[in-house]
Amino acid sequence: MLSVENQIHIYDFVRVISEAINLVSPSLNKHHKIVTCIARRLVQAMKLKSADAQNIIFAALLHDIGIFSDEERDRILTFEAQGIDVNTHAHLGYELLRHFDPLAESAELIKHHHASYCDKGKSVPLGCYIIHLADRVAVLFDESREVLEQVPEILVKIHKTESVFHPDTLAAFARLTEREYFWIEAASSLSYQQALGSMQLSQEVIDLETLRSFAGIVSQIIDFRSSFTATHSKGVAAVAKQLAGLSGFSSNECAMLEIAGLLHDLGKLAVPNEILEKNGSLSEEEFNIIRKHTYYTYTILNKMSGFKQLARWAAFHHERIDGSGYPFHVPGNEFCKLSRIMAVADVVTALTEDRPYRRGMSREKTESVLWQMANEEKLDADIVKLAIEHFSFVNVIRAGAQLEAKREYEALSSLIDEKRKAPQETTLSLVQVPLKQQLAKNEAFTLA
């Protein structure tokens, strides 16, 4: 079980994933927050029970988690989504989260968040339709203009496409649109905090296995951006766990260090793929960008309640005993043993795995580099000695973990290709139809 210091609640998971998305795409993260604010008001107006409301809000905050390319993001964040692949990212988001129990029900909502009410042959939860409407309203916001002056235009567009939306969600939306605060709140990038703060969120405490499952999801989000990075985090996690065990740490501490390993490169989400996959030496500017990633890892994980120690274990993997590492230049006396193990695990994995610019190093070359770094007081000599003495065993564990990660990456890639080749659903109908009675009462919906 987790120690008292590491009591984790479900919202912590959502917040970390949200922060991770923000590193990759601030515009996508802002979109998620607007959708969350709108969805929160819709569930309140529809008087849904708190458990359903929580699942909807979490799904709203993560609904585009399956977007991994700028091109796909730009297409999805447009209102006229006909004829393009709008469902691949929804299914991928579902696949990423569906095995994580605390967010499994939210994953189901993410899977169908572009479902059209016109297609009544499907069994689609009401929450999907709520997110769908919130999402389509959100993409109509123009940041360069005053939000209230946009309201009539937004309502006209929703009017023209109303057949794709659930009538109950439209009725709730109509009641909300009469109130200026609804629009002002939705356009504020800070108001989603109120959206979450006002809800009765679950206070369920998470066990160690659930935490590991979560770390696996985040490592996929980190690593699956590139075929090169698709196996790195699992390799580091496996090596760190084994070295911690060989160093005499408890099974609980070993498991927590494995989780830190899965999360150690969280900050690399802020690094462009062309730098991560560069086939050659990095320029000074590119290396400076790389050096930021450990700071982002620390900042995000340190916000998670009970993650203070784990944040250090994960983020200090480029710190060095002589203080020459980055980004904090932690002095040796503050560089704890588990952080030192993580640093060695990262180097061992980096040396032995295949990289875009070279094949993995041989045992002899790996040992030479490790000893050199130990002699220069970059790495802990005792941990390096352990790694070399048990090199065959540790390397087999590393290779096995990375092979498993590679298979997961290939399976997910195949799923994406399959979804992209499948016939796409129509998500919007631009045929103008009469509004529901509730909408007709709203003067803002009057068409010119």
Cα 103 to chain centroid, rounded: 13
| Mean pLDDT, rounded, of the chain | 83
pLDDT for the residue 99: 86
Q: Averaged over 76-89, what is the pLDDT? A: 63
pLDDT, one tens digit per residue, over 231-280 is 899 999 999 999 999 999 999 999 999 999 999 999 988 888 788 878 77
Q: What is the mean pLDDT of the segment spanning 145-160? A: 93
For the residues 302-316, what does the mean pLDDT come to?
88
Q: What is the mean pLDDT of residues 11-31?
A: 83
pLDDT in tens, 355-414: 767 789 999 999 999 999 999 999 999 999 999 999 999 999 999 999 998 898 888 778
Residue type, 11: Y
Q: How many degrees, rounded to 5, is the angle at CA 237 between CA 356 and CA 67?
A: 60
Note whether 55 and 301 are within 8 A (CB): no
- Residue 205, strand partner residues: 9
- Give residue 24's pLDDT band: very low, low, confident or very high (50, 70, 90): confident
Cβ burial, residue 331 (10 Å; 0-12/13-18/19+): exposed
What gap in Å lies between CA 91 and CA 369, rounded to an integer? 43
For residue 281, what are the CA distances in angstroms to 6, 244, 275, 317, 358?
40, 32, 10, 21, 11
Residue 48 has pLDDT above 90, yes or no: yes
**DSSP 8-state code for residue 355:** B
Q: What is the pLDDT of residue 206?
A: 66
The pLDDT tens digits of the residues spanning 83-123 come to: 445 678 888 889 889 888 889 999 999 999 988 888 765 68
The pLDDT of residue 229 is above 80: no
Asked, as a colleague might, if the bond just before 327 is cis with ω within 30 of 0, I would say: yes
- Please report which confidence band the pLDDT of residue 446 belongs to, taking 50, 70 and 90 as the band edges: very low
More confident residue, 363 or 228: 363
What pLDDT score does 28 carry?
83
Q: Please list the alpha-helical segments (H only) found in 278-390.
A: 284-291, 293-302, 308-315, 337-352, 363-375, 381-389
pLDDT of 426:
42
Q: Is residue 350 pLDDT above 50, yes or no?
A: yes
Residue 4 has pLDDT above 60, yes or no: no
Cα distances from 185 to residues 169, 192, 432, in angstroms, run: 19, 8, 29
Q: What is the pTM of this model?
A: 0.82
Supply the pLDDT for residue 87: 77
Confidence label for 194 from pLDDT (cuts 50, 70 and 90): low
- 358 SS3 class: strand
Q: For the segment 8-20, what is each residue's pLDDT rounded down to a tens digit?
A: 677 778 888 888 8
| % residues pLDDT > 70 (the chain) | 81
Confidence band (pLDDT; 50, 70, 90) for 188?
Answer: confident
Residue 442 in this model has a pLDDT that exceeds 70:
no
**Would you tell me the crossing angle of helices 10-24 and 26-45 to the nearest 10 degrees?**
140
Instruction: State the Cα–Cα distance between residues 152 and 322, nearest whole angstrom.
Output: 63
Mean pLDDT, residues 18-29 taken together:
83
pLDDT > 90: percent of the chain: 50
By three-state DSSP, how is residue 293 classified? helix
CA atoms of 61 and 39, how far apart (whole Å): 10
Handedness of CA 225, 98, 313, 231 (dihedral sign): negative
**Residues 408-427: what's their mean pLDDT?**
67
Domain annotation for the chain: domains and CATH numbers: 9-204+423-445 (1.10.3210.10), 208-389 (1.10.3210.10)
pLDDT band, very low/low/confident/very high, at 425 (cuts 50, 70, 90): very low
CB count within 10 Å of CB 328 equals 17
The pLDDT score that the predictor gives to residue 74 is 65
Under the banding of pLDDT at 50, 70 and 90, the label for residue 207 is: confident
Cα(284)–Cα(281) distance, integer angstroms? 10
**Count of Cβ atoms closer than 10 Å to residue 202 Cβ:** 15
Number of neighbours of residue 58 by Cβ within 10 angstroms: 29
User: Which residue reads 């070359």 in tokens?
Assistant: 365
C-alpha R_g of the chain: 24
CB 238 within 8 A of CB 401: yes
Q: Band of the pLDDT at 331, cuts 50, 70, 90?
A: confident
* Residue 293, amino acid: H
Contact 223, 405 (CB under 8 A): yes
